[in-house]
Amino acid sequence: MDIKLLAVDIDETMVNSHHKMTTVTQQALKKAMEQGITVAVVTGRCLEGLPAKLRTLEGIRYVISSNGAKIYDMKAKKVLYRKLISTKSVLDIWNVCKNFHVGLAFHSEGRCYDNRVLQMLYRRVAYHRDFKTHSPIINLEKWVKNNKKPLEKLQIFSGNREKLQTMNEQLRELPGLEIAYSSSNYIEITDEEANKGKALNYLCHSLGIPLEQVMAIGDNANDCSMLKIVGCPVAMGNANEEVKRIAKIITSSHDDNGVAKVINEYLL
């Protein structure tokens, strides 16, 4: 395959179910870059939440974070692209959320904040301290009004899928938002101009790389926008059915080094 750029999701794709990147995957990504392929990380995580092994992997330059809200050039240490949720939209979202007892997490300036102490502690432990710890923000409305900062992404968690479905329907009535309803009991919200596909399209255009020469690998609803626009969309073995229907290639699961296997088979 004449692939010039490899776009890879992180969670349930590049890392396994223990949120760890294996040495096998790390080596495969390194070999792809040695072949002259640009590797772009395309993730729902904020910049501060990148896995430690990924941060130390030489050659990773471009990171699309928060589901496409920002593109970072790690080498030049600058933001190439940003599409943020306006303060008004954040307050509209809050007016929906405050009527439900749910967990919230939001990204601002590359950092991740939670609204619950236990949620913050879980993130710190489960993700091996990849995310830095910040004091929980209990009242999002007050925080936004005081700081006057738009958000990159807002995430809603609940074990009650009926509650999430109700919230999903209400949130979709709000204008100017991109909403991804995951099969893993959460909703992700960005600005309507911020999704992985639009950000990846911008990056490829900036680099002069045709989308036909891009391979993208993902597993969940927020990956669909990028998988639909590239020449070679790849679904993980653990991906949901929507992702698998888009894919031209289905590799093995994130617990079976699926990313490494597709790189070794098709790119090296």
pLDDT at 149 > cutoff 90: no
Give residue-wise pLDDT tens across range 165-207: 999 999 999 999 999 887 668 899 999 999 999 999 999 999 9
Separation of alpha carbons 209 and 5, rounded Å: 7
Token code pair at residue 54: 């990924």
Cβ count near 118 (within 10 Å): 10
Distances in whole angstroms, Cα of residue 26 to Cα of each of 51, 154, 162, 237: 11, 29, 39, 19
Token code pair at residue 139: 């009242």
Whole-model pTM over 0.85: yes
Q: Could you tell me the pLDDT band of residue 49, with boundaries at 50, 70 and 90?
A: very high
Distances in whole angstroms, Cα of residue 116 to Cα of each of 18, 108, 121, 139, 140: 22, 17, 9, 10, 12
pLDDT value at residue 97: 93
pLDDT value at residue 184: 67
